[in-house]
Amino acid sequence: MIDQFGRSIRYMRISVTDRCNLRCQYCMPTDVAAVCHEEVLRYEEIERICAAAVRLGIVRFKITGGEPLVRKGCAGLIGHIKAIPGVEQVTLTTNGVLLGAQLDALCEAGLDAVNISLDTLDDELCARITGSRAITPAQILALLEACCAKGLRTKLNAVLLEETLPEAVSLAEISQRLPVDVRFIELMPVGFGSSMKRVAPDLVLERLQARWPDLHPTDEIRGNGPAHYFAAEGLQGRIGFIDAVSHKFCASCNRVRLTSTGLLKPCLCFDSGTDLRALLRGGCTDEQLTEALRAAVYVKPRAHRFDEQAEITERRLMSQIGG
């Protein structure tokens, strides 16, 4: 699918729930009123949207939340999406709390890759950031090993925070011990993250290059999203940065987002989107659904405006949009 600016849109991030079992300070630090069950897309509705997306050339899907694994049957959904003719890849982003118990089922469903979140290796700081002791850094490290042993392409996502900056090198060293890509994610000025101080990714890169003097950019394709990667001798994985604010990647953006309530969002920065749930529950045909997707993708904005706070119109939390 080609949008109005000639970009090839091949990737859809799908939020299956706005609920989460953690309370991370930059995402959902307090209890937020959950969307009622009737407003959330049913799995068969998600599958139908995916089938329509494939007809337009969107063939790679990321399952997100909230925390996607809190919704029952997530592995089954992944299996059904994988079975749609033309689908190339289905991946998952998770906080890891429920991953161990569901890992076998996810692998059996055909999951292609998993991203696991961990911002710090310190137990107490982890509990403060996540608002919970439901999972520890040691447990996340064990999950990384288990995923690698299963043959899953595995990545670690760490949000850049002031209090975790001193740990950047220690987190990156995970890619030395395991074939895991460690990605540092710049805070997005959406939801609670908009009130927090952002850490400059270039500052982190300086520290990493002091640890690995041969750390250098690589043009390897390591996934579907906007991360850019660095390699060094002795690293089994790569070190990546997702820094949408300080290093705009809009000219090559290949994604759209589907919220758990069925809003197709062409760009995270703006509150505009297409209500696919209303179409589905209004009895639309497959052709009408496909055309609605086509129209929504075509008008994807040229670029976000995260560098101009007054231009950001999205007011929902990241958990309500989809991570």
Query: How many angstroms separate the Cα of 8 from the Cα of each of 112, 119, 145, 205?
Result: 22, 32, 34, 30
* Over residues 199-222, mean pLDDT: 94
270 pLDDT band, cuts 50/70/90, is low
* Over residues 132-136, mean pLDDT: 96
Cα–Cα distance measured from residue 111 to residue 81, given in angstroms and rounded to the nearest whole number: 10
pLDDT of residue 306: 58
Closest CA to 187 of 196, 174, 176, 177: 196
Whether residue 185 has pLDDT greater than 80: yes
Closest CA to 160 of 135, 134, 182: 182
* Over residues 147-162, mean pLDDT: 96
65 pLDDT band, cuts 50/70/90, is very high
Hey, where are the domains in the chain?
A: 11-321
Range 221-230 burial, b when 16+ CB lie within 10 A, else e:
ebbbbbbbbb
199 pLDDT band, cuts 50/70/90, is confident
Whether residue 301 has pLDDT greater than 90: no
Q: What is the share, in percent, of the chain residues with pLDDT greater than 70?
A: 89
Topology (CATH) of 11-321:
TIM Barrel (3.20.20)
Cα–Cα distance measured from residue 64 to residue 259, given in angstroms and rounded to the nearest whole number: 9
Cα–Cα distance measured from residue 143 to residue 319, given in angstroms and rounded to the nearest whole number: 23
What is the token pair recorded at 242? 């997702």
Secondary structure (DSSP) of 157-198 = EEE--GGGGGGHHHHHTHHHHSS-EEEEEPPPSSGGGGGSPP
pLDDT of residue 13: 95
* Over residues 136-158, mean pLDDT: 98
Q: What is the share, in percent, of the chain residues with pLDDT greater than 90?
A: 72
